[in-house]
Each structure stands twice: as C-alpha cells, then as structure tokens.
Chains A and B, each alone.
Chain A
Amino acid sequence: MALRELPSSLRRMALRDARPTAAIASKCLRRYASGEAVAAAPARGEVPEDFRDLESESSLFTAFSPDEKIKAYDPIKRTQARKRELPPSRYQYRSPRYYRGPLHPHQPPPKSDPSSREFIPGPFSYTRLEQTYQSTIAPDLMTLAYVHKPPGTVTIPKSDRLRTWDDSSPYHKGRPKRGPRGPGETLRLIEQDINWRNIPKIEEVTVHSYIKGALEDSAYLHVAGMLLLSVTGVRPTVHKARHSEGRFGLRKGTPVSLTCNMRGEQAYDFVDKCINLVFPRIKDWPGIAGTTGDSSGNISFGFTREGAILFPEVEINYDMYPPKMIPGFHVTIKTTATSDRHARMLLTALGVPFYGKLID
C-alpha cells in the first residue's frame, strides 16, 4: 500500500534493484536532476546521516515527479474544449485611434495599459534627487511648515470667490459662475497649509529658448534644437511667431522658439544636473532672483550661453555645435505648491540659493 501511494517515479526507483542497470540506462538516457533527487531521497520520516544537519524543509526531499504535469498537459484536448477559436498568435490588439465618446462600443484602454496609444513606458530609474526628497526632504518640509489645528476648531466658511448671476434672465439658469471683475482677471491660487498630502514637490520642468538667429538662418534653430534635445532628453517643440513685430524683425509664422517639457524622472534628473553640476560652475553666479515666480508655485530662471555650455551633455562633445550658434535658455520649474514661498522653500531645501528681495 505504501508503495502505491508513492509517486510512480519513486516506485520505479524502489524496484530498481530488481532490474539490470544497463537496461534502465538504455531506456532513459536523459538525466533529470529532480529524478535523481528523488532517488537520493529515502522514505519519509527517516533522515540519512548526511542530511541531519540541514534544514528539514528542503527541495531535495520533495518527491516531485514531472511526469504528472507532462501527462496533464494536453494542448490538443484543450484546444478542442475551447468554445471559440483564439485569434491568430500574431494578432495584436490596437486601441482605437480616436476617442468617440463614452457611449461608443470601442473604448480605448487606460493610459497605463501598454496597448494604449498614450502609454509611456517607465520610469526606468529612481533618481537620487527623488530618493532624497522622498526619504528626507518631504518629512522635513512637513514638519517645518506644520500648522496645528486643535480638534473642534470651527472653520468659518468664506464667501464664494466666484460671482453669481442675478436671475434677471431665464438664460442665467444653469450658467457657470462668473470670474472676478476686470479685464484679464483670473482666480488666483490660495496657499494651503502643508499637510501629509500636499507637500510641495517638482511636477514638471519646462525649458524654453527664443532663438533670435532663426529669423535669418534656420541653422540656428536646428543647432539649438539639437542642444536642447541632448540637454533635456526630450525632443523640443517648435513654436512659430504669432504676430509680425517690426522692431524685432519678426514675421508672422516664422519658427522662432523651442520648448521641452519634462516630467517625472527626467524632470528630477534635470534639476539634479542644474543644482549639482551647472550652478556651482557658473562664474560669479549670485543665485536665482528672489523676485521670480508667478505667485502660483512656478519658479523660473535662465542659463546664458556660457551656462548652457557647462551642461555635461554639451561639454562632452562641445565640438559638435558651431560655437556662435549655441543658445541660452529659460527654465521653469513647476511645483505642486500654490504659492511662491512654498515653492521657494522646496527649492532651497533642494539646494538652490536665492538672492535679492524675496517677493511672493
């Protein structure tokens, strides 16, 4: 009975002595490591001398026989049991090119799906700056700007910032509320107290360069594009002049400027490069102007031609670019902070010095 309970291969091994060894060798020339292990394994319970010191739970003692799995795998049977035929193996799902609304039967997959057209692979690395931010800077900023609200504090609701319509016309029904008064006025962001969910962090970095020489010669634009591409790792977008401007020699429709948008690891990498490699090497650099910022958490600064040369990607093959065509560029760091002072606090913690009067 005991013999029958053991797996088939084990049984074979048990009966091994009765047969001539040569016959077995001719039968199965293949060598299975697991089979040998089974052969080495004695019956359950008793442990041989050599294995006494080892742990009792070991893969050497498990009586695993590959035969059962192999027998259970019957592709023909599986194929016949299938109700519908599978699509051919080369078939690839392609998400629809256009989004045709929520009621259309063909819905595109989510952006995180590799088959989506908007899928962006990555991140491929966990940058040093991001790691430091996550482990050190974020908790410290949270502690630094902690505002205590005792339990039971009554918050007085503020009046609505958007103006409502007086219901003088039946068409006012269902209209969205009106913005603030005055031409070009928009609602400003309100600074929120920092808590564990809204610690300011770098969201996006935009590099922008206006190339003056591109008005006469497109070579300036192409060289600048190559330089920005190598510095940021993102292919720049070309922008055309929107208006003719005689004083600058601008004609409407002339391609004049380039921008690159970086997010995630690329943005962190770029900021890291700026802070640790480029800023310390710029001659007589006072820091970033304290007056920068658009009062909603975006900080801008610029690199001159000399600063652009200091980037390691440019420096390493400086000869690739005609020297007089190397451009300077502007950098805008967009943070999740909703006020300049919070954004500045984040950048200071990352190691960016500010000079002059600080303006919020």
Chain B
Amino acid sequence: MASTHNSIRQMVSPLLRRFQSLSLHAQNTSKPSLRPFSTSPTLLAKPERKRTGDPRVTLIRYHLQHPATPRPLKFSRMRALRHWTIHRAWQLFRRKKLGAEELELQRMYQSMHETMEVLRTMDAPGTKDAGRLYRVALEKKGIFGKGGVPVEYARLQTDTPGKEAWDHSWTR
C-alpha cells in the first residue's frame, strides 16, 4: 500500500512542482503596469461611446429578439401514445359538441318553418284578414337600421349575475 502511494507521489511530484512554480511566478509578475501600451497621448484617445437612447427601447428590443421558443417536445413511446389518446378524445368531444349545437339550431329552424306553414294555411282563402299573422310575423322592418338590436341586448353571460339586473336610477 505504502509503496504504491510513494510511486504515485513520485509520478505526480514534478507536475506539482511545476504548478507551484507557475503560481508563484504569476504572483510575482501580477503588478499592474503603469505605462500604457500605446505611446500616443491620452487626449487623442477616442472618448468612450455614451449609451444613447431610451433604456426601455433597449429592453424591448432584447425581449423581441430573444428566442423564447423552447425545443419541440420529445416523448417516449408510451407517453406519446398517452398524449395522442387524450388528443383524440378531446377532438372527439369537440366534434360532438359542435354537432349538438348545430343540430339544436337546425331543430329551431325547422320548428320556425313549421310554425310559419301553420300560419300561412290557417285561414281559408278569401276570408277577411287571411294570412295577416303570417305577413306580420315575417316583417323585417328596421332590423338592419340603427336600434335593430337594442344596446341592452348585448350583455354577456356571467357565472354570477348581479343582484340588480339593470340600474335604472343611474344618470351621468
């Protein structure tokens, strides 16, 4: 054990010595040199360029050019499969929801159509005011003008509607 230790030390010692000498040498010569390298007078030196412009612009430029996009995702086989399954399920769910919405609209449209047919054929031809209801129901007076849809109509749905639906006493 001791012999091996000695041999390693013998091998390493020149290296060690060299390192020590180097570091010592560095310590000796690390005095700051007073004389500049250039011989031209200091007055002729270019003044250090001052930073011009708004630092906010610099910051904005930095953030606009910084590549913030991470590398694309890399998954193992099983994890990719899991993601794929969830993705397909989500697509299916969305498809079903869209389909249900469209079917609901179609149902409304058809019921409107049937109602209008009933109104149209309600009265016998020649009677007084025949088809008046039908005519009135299909009137489109003013729907494309101003106030066709009242401003009060545009209230978005909320989870928790206010206690008071409309403040009638409010004045500017």
Interface residues of A (CB under 8 A from B): 86-87, 89-92, 112, 114, 128-129, 131-132, 134-136, 138-140, 142-148, 150-151, 195-197, 199, 219, 222-223, 225-226, 229, 272, 275-276, 290, 319-322, 325, 341, 344-345, 348-354, 358
Query: In the assembled complex, how far is the CB of residue A350 from the closest CB belonging to chain B, in whole angstroms?
Result: 6
Q: Given that A92-B74, A92-B80 are known contacts, is A150 also in contact with B157, CB under 8 Å in the complex?
A: no
Query: In the assembled complex, how far is the CB of residue A11 from the closest CB belonging to chain B, in whole angstroms?
Result: 35
The reply to whether A349 and B120 contact each other, CB–CB distance below 8 Å, is no
- Give chain B interface residues in 9-46, CB to chain A under 8 Å: none
Closest to B75 in A: A92
Q: Does B151 contact A (CB under 8 A)?
A: yes
Chain A hits for B60, CB < 8 A: 222-223, 226, 320-321
- Cα separation A225 to B54 with both chains bound (whole Å): 16
The reply to whether B106 and A196 contact each other, CB–CB distance below 8 Å, is yes
Query: In the assembled complex, how far is the CB of residue B158 from the closest CB belonging to chain A, in whole angstroms?
Result: 8
| SS of A interface (majority) | helix
21 A-B pairs (CB sep. < 8 Å):
A92-B75, A142-B105, A142-B108, A144-B148, A144-B149, A146-B112, A146-B138, A150-B117, A151-B117, A195-B109, A196-B106, A199-B105, A219-B54, A222-B60, A320-B56, A320-B60, A325-B57, A344-B144, A345-B148, A349-B149, A351-B154
Contact of B57 among A92, A140, A223 (CB under 8 A): A223
The reply to whether A89 and B105 contact each other, CB–CB distance below 8 Å, is no
- Cα separation A89 to B60 with both chains bound (whole Å): 42
| SS of B interface (majority) | helix
The count of chain B contact residues (Cβ–Cβ below 8 Å) is 46
The reply to whether B64 and A222 contact each other, CB–CB distance below 8 Å, is yes
Query: In the assembled complex, how far is the CB of residue B58 from the closest CB belonging to chain A, in whole angstroms?
Result: 9
Closest to A86 in B: B77
- Cα separation A320 to B54 with both chains bound (whole Å): 11
Query: In the assembled complex, how far is the CB of residue B101 from the closest CB belonging to chain A, in whole angstroms?
Result: 6
Query: In the assembled complex, how far is the CB of residue A358 from the closest CB belonging to chain B, in whole angstroms?
Result: 7
The reply to whether A89 and B120 contact each other, CB–CB distance below 8 Å, is no
Closest to A352 in B: B154
Chain A hits for B83, CB < 8 A: 114
- Cα separation A146 to B101 with both chains bound (whole Å): 18
Chain A hits for B113, CB < 8 A: 148
- Cα separation A341 to B149 with both chains bound (whole Å): 12
Chain A hits for B116, CB < 8 A: 146, 148
Chain B hits for A144, CB < 8 A: 143, 148-149
Q: Does B156 contact A (CB under 8 A)?
A: yes
The reply to whether B108 and A353 contact each other, CB–CB distance below 8 Å, is no
Q: Given that A114-B83, A222-B60, A348-B149 are known contacts, is A128 also in contact with B157, CB under 8 Å in the complex?
A: yes
Chain B hits for A219, CB < 8 A: 53-54, 57, 61
Q: Does B123 contact A (CB under 8 A)?
A: no
- Cα separation A222 to B56 with both chains bound (whole Å): 11
The reply to whether B157 and A138 contact each other, CB–CB distance below 8 Å, is no
The reply to whether A138 and B105 contact each other, CB–CB distance below 8 Å, is yes
Q: Given that A129-B156, A272-B156 are known contacts, is A148 also in contact with B138, CB under 8 Å in the complex?
A: yes
Q: Given that A139-B108, A219-B57 are known contacts, is A226 also in contact with B63, CB under 8 Å in the complex?
A: yes
Closest to A342 in B: B144
The reply to whether B149 and A353 contact each other, CB–CB distance below 8 Å, is no
The reply to whether A322 and B57 contact each other, CB–CB distance below 8 Å, is yes
- Cα separation A91 to B79 with both chains bound (whole Å): 12
